[in-house]
Amino acid sequence: MAPLRRRPAHGKLWIVTHDPVGPSVDELPLPIEGQLPLPLPGLIEPPPPGVSIPRADRIYANRNLRLGAIEWIGFDMDYTLAIYRQEAMDALSVELTVEKLIERGYPASLRDLRFDTRFPIRGLLVDKQLGNVLKMDRHKEVYKGYHGTRLLERAEIVQLYHETKLEPHTARYHWIDTLFALCEVTSYSALVSALEEKGESFDPEKLFHDVRSAIDASHADGSVYARVTADPARYLDLDPNLPRTLHKLRSAGKKLFVLTNSPWSYTNTVMSYLLDGGQDQYTNWQQYFDVVICSAKKPRWFAAGTPFEERTATGLKPAVGGFERGHVYEGGSLREFEVRADLEGTRVLYVGDHIYGDILRSRKDSTWRTALVIQELDQEIEALEASASLRLRRRQLAEARPLYEDQLRYYQHQYKALSRLGSSTDVAAAREGAKDEIDRLRAELSRLEHEYEDLNVRNDLIFHPYWGALLKEMNGLSIFGQQVELYADVYMRRVSCLSAYAPTQFFRSPHDLMPHEI
């Protein structure tokens, strides 16, 4: 072992070290603040490969969140605790929707409807008046759109949505912000194209409302619930880490609750499939939770709500007193929940998948902290990693553009200045040289722009064949990405991502940069 070494520049600092590899401690550069660079040679070994949490399983913070300060964690069920197989769910919904439409007088030939369940993503805007589906950036600018399933040309988008002000919150438009609603776009877009191809006359707005009504009817009459509960393995993604995650949180002293709009019979069947038998300590799924609330009627639940009712063997009765573990409640409201549970809103983390029903309303109407489940993050992160070299090249082009533009401005200024100096041989030669540089730089910028646009198209195709990245549009956030940033304190791909972190984890948001800081 080497002797104790003393840093001569800072008499108070002593370091004990084994024989170091590379420079000695004395030779290491010392920051101005007097702190040694880490890791210290001979003292701290680098961690073995694979100890970091895989990127897809991390939790991402928009705002700082101390999990140790959270006492209650609530969960939505559908698309949060229960992760659905989206293609199977959408195919089922389209099938049931078409049958309902045929019952209402639409052509029976629609049973042969061609559709692609991959077509929609969250964050789209339906123009019911024209039969178009649009994707916007955070400034509500439209860059991509489809009429039915036909890609709109750039000139069409400019004429329809740039030359006149688009007002997305008016009755003409409809937001698609949940995975549950993707089937609306799948059905509607396929029907618009199919009816036009057959020469059928239809009102695009009425068609959209008929599609939505048919989907609602399929849920109201129990058709969807019956098909899912009859074959849960086909429609539900069974996560073996979910029971362990809930148990870990409970073992850390967290109180857990379920808050879902689904009815009790469906909730019981789905949750039994997901959790029963997952941990030996729990004889049934309800034992994971301190409170279970069904038929909650969110987002109304976060505002006025309805009185709490307790489910009994003989039906529903008004709830009295505090919550009892193992009992099932329906309805209710946020304020009454906080009173009955005797809790402070800042001590609650609510985990959901619905920007409006779960996240936005709890953010606006309470002090609850919010976590958003984005199950599409699997594909988003896979595409992000696959497109790394392409995006690096695109960034290089973006950083080169202002350099070329600076040079272009310089030579344009030179050319104008030389044009005022007469027409001597030397001046003419210098002016011609400046003109050559101007032409060269314009050509370089043109090539740069063409390559940049080509990279944009190729990048989008890696993320999604129709719409590109879910959370981004052009060089900024999509409207959905902006909603995630605004309303979710943290976000993750599924609830079991929580199992990788300590119950006292401090989730820190990254530093924001404005354009002038880059």
What is 209-231 written as a DSSP string?
A: HHHHHHHHHHHHTTHHHHHHHHS
Q: What are the pLDDT digits (tens) for 165-185?
A: 999 999 999 999 999 999 999
CA distance 491 to 62: 8
The letter for the amino acid at 52 is: S
Query: CA–CA separation, 454 vs 229, rounded Å?
Result: 46
- The backbone region for 42, taken as left when phi is positive above 0, alpha when psi lies in -120 to 50, beta otherwise, is left
> Inter-axis angle of helices 223-230 and 86-103, to 10 degrees?
140
Contacts of 372 (CB under 8 A, 6+ apart): 351, 352, 353, 355, 358, 359, 484, 487, 488, 490, 491, 492
Max Cα-Cα span within the chain: 105
Peptide bond just before 299 cis, omega within 30 deg = yes
CA–CA separation, 138 and 107 (whole Å):
39
* pLDDT < 70 positions in the chain: 1-44
User: DSSP assignment, residue 295?
Assistant: S
What pLDDT does residue 447 have?
A: 96
pLDDT in tens, 339-385: 999 998 899 999 999 888 777 777 777 889 999 999 999 999 999 99
The reported pLDDT for the residue numbered 16 is 37
3-state secondary structure 134-190: EEEECCCCEEEEEECCEECCHHHHHHHHHCCCCCCCCCCEEEECCCCCHHHHHHHHH
Cα(109)–Cα(111) distance, integer angstroms: 5
- Are 352 and 490 in contact, with CB atoms under 8 Å apart? no
Q: What angle do CA 133, 217, 209 make, to 5 degrees?
A: 35
CA distances from 185 to 115, 142, 180 (A): 10, 17, 11
Residue 47 pLDDT = 72
The DSSP symbol for 327 reads -
* Token reading at 455: 């990279």
